[in-house]
Amino acid sequence: IFKRKKRRHSVLESQRRRSDRVKGQPPSVVGMDFLKSRPQLFQKNQAARTEVVRRSCRSSPLLTKLLKFPLYLASIDVTVFELGQIYRGAFCHNYWSSAQCAYHHIYPIGYRAQKEYFGRLFEMTIHLGEVGPIFKVRDVQREVEHSGHTPTHPWTSVCLAAKLGTRISGPLFFGFSDPELQDAISNMYTKDEREASETGSVVHNTSPSPLEAFVKEVTSNVVGLGEASVLAVARWPALGDISLSALRHLVVQDQGKEFLSFLLTSSEMPENVRRWPKWKIVAQKVVHRLLQKDIFSQTPKRGQSLKQGVVVNSTHQPISGNTRPCDKVVNISCLAPKQHVSKVSQVVSTSKSKRKKLYDMSIHQAI
């Protein structure tokens, strides 16, 4: 009985409250002001935060000479044979890892490593893609190769093919979660790249290619087209000059019928885009945007629906006949040039379903 009481007393002592704030006080009150009032705690906290932020860019001038390949990463059981090189060409901003990763870094092109998993040896490589890196995982024994645009995609294909029913972290299996490998990669950074790795941002190409400039111009002015879709549009045989003005001139000639058919049926478009159930509606909005005269002056924000452009003027009407107080008179001015679409003025309900039907009708008239 005595031992039991003594043990209970020691457990209670270990669980005793040791916080400096009053019991019941919200934790948000004890913040930076509390730390600054205690210089030693503040310096310790800042040092810990700095170490976490800069852990992806620790480097030393002799690091490359000290490292010998093949390099074995004991933390994740990966053998690195080639470190690769930093790519700084077109679309180099797509070669950065996600800012939510443990280490924010650049994926080196030419990287080659091996890892043994569930009794088989796999070779992992990173190749140069059209707009970003391509990650490949090859089963050495079975000569089966899986590829994807992120480190997780090929490893997910490996798990699905083996019917493992597990989830794998691609950056972890590629070796990018090891501090020693991150030190080696950060040793190849420039000053701007080092700052970007600390802040979680990316470094863009200072002299973009014509294709990169075209992708940036279209994605910033036309809502609904991403980089992969714009690259498919750039390969459109009917498009001669790769520019937004040339694309708009081609669309205006036949009111966007040929361009809409290309967006919906062409094999050049990404397969996941063509399979998207709402792609038909989005493609019609893209054509409408290109038919606007003021496409370069009034650019909608990313994520803003073009549906907002349908309602130009709305005023409440007095109660008369079948008109209800909530009804509005909506003057519909289509997003296409005015000479191709007749203006309509009618009374419609403010309900979401009827406004959507009215908007779809205006889109059909323009095309």
Segment 118-172, tens digit of pLDDT: 889 999 999 999 889 999 999 999 899 999 999 999 999 999 988 877 888 899 9
| pLDDT 10s digits, 258-294 | 999 999 999 999 888 999 999 999 999 999 999 987 7
Beta strands across the sheet bearing 344-348: 311-316, 328-332, 344-348
Residue 309 pLDDT > 90: no
pLDDT given at position 100: 79
- Which has the higher per-residue pLDDT, 312 or 143? 143
pLDDT given at position 24: 52
Contact 102, 177 (CB under 8 A): yes
d(CA 95, CA 91): 8
The one-letter amino acid at 100: Q
pLDDT given at position 80: 95
Residue 21 pLDDT > 80: no
pLDDT given at position 350: 45
d(CA 159, CA 176): 20
Give buried/exposed letters for 277-300 (b at 16+ CB in 10 A, else e): eebebbbbbbbbbbbbeebeeeeb
53 bridge partner residues:
none
- Count the alpha carbons within 13 Å of 110 in the hemisphere toward its beta carbon: 7
Q: Which of 73-82, 221-230, 253-262, 291-300 has the lowest mean pLDDT?
A: 291-300
| Positions of E strands within 69-205 | 71-73, 78-82, 112-117, 120-128, 133-139, 144-148
Straight-line distance from the first to the last Cα atom of the chain, in angstroms, rounded to the nearest whole number = 89
| pLDDT 10s digits, 223-247 | 889 888 999 999 998 888 888 989 9
d(CA 197, CA 183): 12
User: Cα angle vertex 75, ends 74, 76, to 5°?
Assistant: 95
Strands 344-348, 328-332: pairing is: antiparallel
pLDDT given at position 280: 93
Share of the chain above pLDDT 90, in %: 36
Q: Which residue has the tokens 């002299």?
A: 207
d(CA 188, CA 104): 14
pLDDT given at position 47: 55
Contact 157, 182 (CB under 8 A): no
73 bridge partner residues:
78
pLDDT given at position 278: 93
Residue 317 pLDDT > 70: no
Helix (H, G, I), strand (E, B) or coil at 264: helix
Q: Which residue has the tokens 């490949």?
A: 136
pLDDT given at position 145: 95
- Which has the higher per-residue pLDDT, 303 or 29? 303
**pTM of structure:** 0.60
- Contact partners, residue 94, CB within 8 Å, separation at least 6: 131, 132, 133, 227
